[in-house]
């Protein structure tokens, strides 16, 4: 129910306001005058906007079904450019006496074409890669060609990991081992001496600075990462004893991801500088200060220090870091180090969106009610019916109580066999109509009783989307991540339905019922009524970071199709890459079925059915073809 208040007309501007696109879109997303969501890129100083629905059209023509992850290469490049240029500007303005080197943490999006693009475009800025495992180090070694770029190895490193890094050193790669625990050091010393290759060593510090937001446990005394101060001194002693203190050249700290509050950044950087200078005093050459990730993304567009937002801009972030390092080290007369940061989320989040179509809607609109009830229907139904149409802003609470009371009476009678199926349906229907009338009054009521606060949500529609939350938006499920969501077309029409969004897994957790709208967090989102002859497409934006690999195979919905486009100066776009999502056969093999064996089992079953006279040979042929096609097909709903 809950029709939004009617207005005679509706403008695209109102949609922009409603979905907050100009707040979270950061200039990359907006609406066209025709009411389509657009992705906007900057090409040679000109701003080029492409309607996302046009790209969807292009996918359709190429047989790429929904759901689909859409990557915009320009946005990935542009973010790397902006990050590097913002640091350069801050360095120039502050007369900081060294340069910046960014690295992209591979864990944030390991997909081959993302890393290839970062390695390729990143060469312009000597942008490197951060690896947290052997597999990621192998990716970094194979993708980076620029020898000025850094490779930073975090994570727990065994002898094999260390050998890989040492071989890279020997080939001239600037590959740092960052010590996470004291136990890594003996392996590094032993392996480097055995191979005769000198390592570059960094130390990851456990800062006492803590941060706001979801990732606060990445820092502070009880963080599971990094060395304590006394462990740091043990490392220094051990390096001295092996005559290797000159290898210690980097201090590393990472306060946590998505730091919403700039003050935490400043405090953390200042603390890291004290450790840096302490190590210089101990005689280590140093030269690099790596401040980890944490640069946030304003998912809700509120520019605040709430968990899903950030109270600062990129430039401010860079200036804060550069000035804090300059001031703290100048005080102690220590040369400025190369500044390194490992921004993952802020680099890739904008470049991807998840697109899906709506398959079905369950609304809570009452069916058409009769003018009058038949004389012989139960009294309680008549009582319920009499509440209808009497709801006012004075008596709505009483009407609410009565409606529920009579409806429950009918339910009770039904359980005992004293009311028919039709009686019950009628009661539910009348009740819905009354609740709808009450809900329509609520916006005009100054103090809504707490009992009724959830009424709009209870009456909202369920829009069933063709996607799996677990596969494509795992953080929404796991850590209540808020992501901007809006239709990608029809934005010149008024969205008259209030809805939550459910996915197609058979799991009641597979739903989105928390939305960041400019008025605040809402349990429902306004959407357009479905049309019979037209698909309705929604986009979930800013999903380029962490979502793809963290996703899982719940209900065996596999990877979605992925399309990577590049927008040109004339607003045309090229499909640079297309990746078909998992087939059913693929997902079966992930859980150890052999698709060939499965097919053979189906063949035997069909053959037995022929022998038993249940199906004809012709039917067998048709069935086996259907099985085969199915195994090759997409795991999602296909039209
Ligand atoms: C996860 C991680 C990052 C990336 O953090 P973002 O907030 O995505 O920028 C950087 N460095 C380390 C050590 C990490 O573990």
User: What is the per-residue pLDDT across 228-253, written as a single tens digit (0 to 9) for each?
Assistant: 999 999 999 999 999 999 999 999 99
Catalytic residue, chosen from 175, 318, 399, 506, is: 506
Q: What is the DSSP string of 140-165?
A: HHHH---TTSEEEE-S---HHHHHHH
Average pLDDT over the chain, rounded to whole?
94
**Weakest mean pLDDT among 117-121, 211-215, 482-486, 599-603:** 211-215
Q: Does residue 545 have a pLDDT over 50?
A: yes
CA of 301 to the centre of ligand 1 (A): 22
Q: Does residue 534 have a pLDDT over 90?
A: yes
The pLDDT score that the predictor gives to residue 1 is 44
Nearest to 248 by CA among 292, 188, 195: 188
Would the CB of 310 count as within 6 Å of ligand 1?
no
CA of 104 to the centre of ligand 1 (A): 9
Would the CB of 345 count as within 6 Å of ligand 1?
yes
Would the CB of 205 count as within 6 Å of ligand 1?
no
The pLDDT score that the predictor gives to residue 215 is 76
Whether residue 399 lies in the annotated active site: no
User: What is the per-residue pLDDT across 287-302, written as a single tens digit (0 to 9) for each?
Assistant: 999 999 999 999 999 9
The share of the chain scoring above pLDDT 90, in percent, equals: 87
Would the CB of 105 count as within 6 Å of ligand 1?
yes
Let me know: does 128 contact 83? Beta carbons within 8 Å: no
The pLDDT score that the predictor gives to residue 374 is 87
Q: Does residue 313 have a pLDDT over 70?
A: yes
Is it true that 96-350 and 379-456 share their CATH fold?
Answer: no
Once rounded to an integer, what is the mean pLDDT over residues 524-549? Answer: 95
The pLDDT score that the predictor gives to residue 77 is 97
The share of the chain scoring above pLDDT 70, in percent, equals: 98
The pLDDT score that the predictor gives to residue 213 is 80
Q: Where are the domains of the chain?
A: 96-350, 379-456, 585-632
Highest mean pLDDT among 44-48, 102-106, 450-454: 102-106
Q: Does residue 471 have a pLDDT over 80?
A: yes
Place 468 in a pLDDT band, splitting at 50, 70 and 90: very high
Q: What is the Cα–Cα distance from 225 to 104, expressed in whole angstroms?
A: 19
Nearest ligand 1 atom, CA 346: 9
What tokens were used for 380?
A: 């309680």
Would the CB of 293 count as within 6 Å of ligand 1?
yes
386: Cβ–Cβ under 8 A, 6 or more apart, which residues?
A: none
What tokens were used for 477?
A: 């499920």
Q: What is the Cα–Cα distance from 249 to 399, expressed in whole angstroms?
A: 73
Q: What is the Cα–Cα distance from 564 to 74, expressed in whole angstroms?
A: 10
512 DSSP β-pair partners: 501
Q: Does residue 7 have a pLDDT over 60?
A: no
Would the CB of 348 count as within 6 Å of ligand 1?
no
CA of 206 to the centre of ligand 1 (A): 15
The pLDDT score that the predictor gives to residue 364 is 85
Pocket test for ligand 1, best of 130, 252, 544 (most atoms within 8 A of CB): 130
Once rounded to an integer, what is the mean pLDDT over residues 423-432? Answer: 94
CATH 3.30.420.130 applies to domain 96-350: no
Q: Higher confidence at residue 488 or residue 440?
A: 488
Would the CB of 343 count as within 6 Å of ligand 1?
yes
Pocket test for ligand 1, best of 257, 295, 317, 548 (most atoms within 8 A of CB): 257
CATH of domain 379-456: 1.20.58.930
Q: What is the DSSP string of 513-531?
A: --EEETTEEES-EEEPPPB
The pLDDT score that the predictor gives to residue 2 is 47
Would the CB of 292 count as within 6 Å of ligand 1?
yes
Q: What is the Cα–Cα distance from 204 to 246, expressed in whole angstroms?
A: 17
What tokens were used for 249?
A: 């050249």
CA of 108 to the centre of ligand 1 (A): 8
The pLDDT score that the predictor gives to residue 377 is 87
CA of 564 to the centre of ligand 1 (A): 24
Q: Does residue 6 have a pLDDT over 60?
A: no
Q: Does residue 410 have a pLDDT over 90?
A: yes
Beta strands in 519-592, from DSSP E residues, in sequence order: 520-522, 525-527, 537-540, 561-567, 573-579
């Amino acid at each position: 129910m809950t029709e939004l208040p009617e207005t005679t007309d509706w403008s695209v501007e109102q949609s922009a306001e409603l979905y907050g696109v100009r707040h979270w879109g950061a200039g990359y997303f907006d609406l066209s005058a025709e009411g389509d969501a657009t992705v906007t890129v900057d090409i040679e100083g000109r701003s080029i906007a492409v309607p996302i629905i046009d790209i969807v059209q292009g996918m359709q023509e190429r047989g790429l079904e929904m759901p689909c992850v859409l990557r915009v290469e320009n946005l990935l490049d542009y973010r790397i450019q902006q990050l590097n240029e913002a640091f350069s500007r801050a360095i120039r303005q502050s007369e900081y006496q060294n340069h910046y080197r960014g690295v992209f943490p591979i864990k944030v999006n390991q997909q081959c074409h993302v890393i290839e693009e970062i390695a390729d475009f990143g060469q312009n800025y000597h942008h490197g890669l951060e690896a947290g495992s052997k597999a990621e180090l192998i990716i970094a070694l194979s993708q980076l060609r620029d020898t000025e770029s850094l490779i930073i190895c975090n994570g727990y490193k065994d002898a094999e990991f260390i050998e890989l890094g040492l071989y890279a050193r020997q080939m001239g790669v600037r590959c740092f081992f960052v010590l996470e625990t004291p136990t890594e050091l003996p392996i590094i010393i032993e392996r480097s001496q055995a191979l005769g290759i000198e390592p570059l060593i960094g130390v990851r510090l456990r800062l006492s600075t803590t941060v706001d937001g979801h990732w606060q446990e990445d820092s502070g005394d009880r963080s599971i990462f990094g060395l304590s101060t006394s462990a740091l001194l043990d490392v220094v002693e051990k390096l001295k004893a092996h005559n290797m203190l000159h290898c210690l050249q980097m201090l590393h700290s990472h306060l946590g991801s998505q730091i919403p509050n700039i003050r935490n950044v400043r405090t953390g950087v200042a603390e890291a500088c004290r450790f840096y200078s302490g190590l210089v005093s101990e005689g280590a050459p140093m030269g690099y200060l790596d401040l980890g990730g944490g640069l946030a993304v304003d998912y809700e567009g509120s520019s605040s220090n709430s968990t899903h937002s950030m109270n600062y801009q990129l430039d401010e972030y860079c200036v804060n870091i550069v000035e804090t390092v300059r001031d703290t080290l100048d005080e102690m007369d220590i040369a400025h180090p190369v500044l390194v940061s490992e921004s993952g989320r802020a680099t890739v989040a904008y470049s991807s969106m998840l697109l899906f179509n709506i398959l079905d809607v369950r609304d809570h609109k009452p069916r058409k009610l009769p003018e009058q009830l038949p004389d012989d229907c139960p009294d309680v139904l008549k009582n319920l019916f009499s509440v209808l149409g009497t709801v006012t802003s004075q008596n709505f609470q009483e009407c609410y109580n009565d409606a529920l009371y009579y409806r429950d009476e009918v339910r009770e009678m039904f359980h005992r066999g004293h009311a028919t199926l039709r009686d019950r349906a009628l009661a539910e229907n009348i009740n819905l109509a009354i609740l709808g009338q009450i809900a329509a009054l609520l916006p005009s009521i100054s103090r809504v009783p707490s009992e009724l606060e959830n009424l709009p949500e209870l009456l909202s529609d369920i829009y069933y989307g063709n996607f799996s939350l677990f596969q494509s938006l795992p953080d929404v499920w796991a850590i209540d991540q808020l992501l901007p969501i809006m239709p990608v077309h029809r934005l010149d029409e008024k969205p008259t339905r209030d809805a939550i969004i459910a996915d197609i897994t058979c799991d009641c957790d597979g739903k989105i019922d928390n939305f960041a709208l400019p008025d605040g967090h809402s349990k429902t989102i306004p959407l357009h009524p479905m049309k019979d002859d037209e698909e309705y497409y929604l986009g979930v934006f800013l999903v380029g970071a962490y979502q793809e690999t963290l996703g899982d195979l719940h209900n065996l919905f596999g990877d979605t199709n992925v399309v990577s486009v590049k927008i040109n100066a004339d607003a045309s776009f090229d499909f640079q890459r297309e990746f078909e999502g998992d087939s059913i056969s693929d997902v079966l093999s992930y859980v150890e079925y052999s698709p060939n064996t499965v097919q053979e089992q189906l063949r035997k079953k069909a053959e037995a059915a022929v022998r038993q006279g249940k199906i004809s040979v012709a039917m067998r042929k048709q069935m086996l073809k259907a099985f085969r096609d199915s195994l090759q097909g997409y795991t999602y709903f296909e039209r």
